[in-house]
Chain A
Amino acid sequence: ILNVEQSPQSLHVQEGDSTNFTCSFPSSNFYALHWYRWETAKSPEALFVMTLNGDEKKKGRISATLNTKEGYSYLYIKGSQPEDSATYLCAFAGTGGTSYGKLTFGQGTILTVHP
């Protein structure tokens, strides 16, 4: 069983604060690391797919980094807004055997941004 852990489990910040959270995953047989945003009553929406060690990706105020050698990724949100409130999921895709390309999800970080 692959271990994908996210921390913290939940986070409350004030509007305008910057925040970040962590996804840790196996450091072997790495294929890709995905980040998704899941708002209440909606479907999860892809933020990033990261494949290379040292990758940094950015989408507006949200960015992510990737370290495949040590098995972690950080997601950063700059100047949080109430509409950023959501559950942020990371998912690991490995290369091992029948697991190729399949995603193993973390439990998510629930972000609440207070006005």
Chain B
Amino acid sequence: GAVVSQHPSRVICKSGTSVKIECRSLDFQATTMFWYRQFPKQSLMLMATSNEGSKATYEQGVEKDKFLINHASLTLSTLTVTSAHPEDSSFYICSARPGTNNSPLHFGNGTRLTVT
């Protein structure tokens, strides 16, 4: 149980275009989902917390207008990288927890974004 599906797994786009990444909880409802980014040889960095029915909470240094998050239902959160640039190339991964704050996170498989 507690499966999180993330799509697409890999995307290549041209500079200036926008890319949408979807994160779905398949067998549980998630009022909160977490979006992480990983640079090469670095740890997973929390970008933002996606809240169902309300605005996302962004971590310090993460541009809200650049990384648009929408959590319109209890099973779907989307991250849109707007006007992507090569420096946005990275590995993005979402997660959700089906229980309390003490329960573990369940992760999607991640999205490798390459901006050319």
Interface residues of A (CB under 8 A from B): 4, 31-32, 34, 36, 41-46, 49, 51, 89, 91, 93, 98, 100-108
Total count of chain B residues near the partner, CB < 8 A = 24
Q: 6 A-B pairs, CB-CB below 8 angstroms?
A: A32-B102, A36-B104, A44-B107, A45-B107, A105-B45, A107-B42
Interface residues of B (CB under 8 A from A): 4, 6, 34, 36, 41-46, 49, 57, 93, 95, 101-110
Instruction: Determine if A43 and B110 form an interchain contact, defined as CB atoms under 8 angstroms apart.
Output: yes
Instruction: Determine if A106 and B93 form an interchain contact, defined as CB atoms under 8 angstroms apart.
Output: no
B4, B41, B105: the one within 8 Å of A103 (CB): B105
Instruction: Determine if A101 and B46 form an interchain contact, defined as CB atoms under 8 angstroms apart.
Output: no
Give the chain B neighbours of A89 by CB distance below 8 A. 43-44
Instruction: Determine if A107 and B104 form an interchain contact, defined as CB atoms under 8 angstroms apart.
Output: no
B45, B49, B104: the one within 8 Å of A34 (CB): B104
* Cα A91 to Cα B6 with chains together (Å): 21
A49, A51, A103: the one within 8 Å of B46 (CB): A103
Closest B-chain residue to A49, C-beta based? B104
Instruction: Determine if A46 and B106 form an interchain contact, defined as CB atoms under 8 angstroms apart.
Output: yes
Give the chain B neighbours of A46 by CB distance below 8 A. 104-106
* Cα A92 to Cα B81 with chains together (Å): 27
Closest B-chain residue to A4, C-beta based? B43
Instruction: Determine if A43 and B107 form an interchain contact, defined as CB atoms under 8 angstroms apart.
Output: yes
Give the chain A neighbours of B102 by CB distance below 8 A. 31-32, 49, 51
Would you give the shortest CB distance from A107 to chain B, in whole angstroms?
4
Return the 3 tightest CB-CB contacts between A and B, nearest first: A46-B104, A101-B101, A43-B107
Would you give the shortest CB distance from B101 to chain A, in whole angstroms?
4
Would you give the shortest CB distance from B83 to chain A, in whole angstroms?
28
* Cα A43 to Cα B94 with chains together (Å): 10
Would you give the shortest CB distance from A92 to chain B, in whole angstroms?
11
Give the chain A neighbours of B110 by CB distance below 8 A. 43
* Cα A32 to Cα B45 with chains together (Å): 18
* Cα A58 to Cα B108 with chains together (Å): 25
Would you give the shortest CB distance from A7 to chain B, in whole angstroms?
13
Instruction: Determine if B109 and A49 form an interchain contact, defined as CB atoms under 8 angstroms apart.
Output: no
Would you give the shortest CB distance from B54 to chain A, in whole angstroms?
15
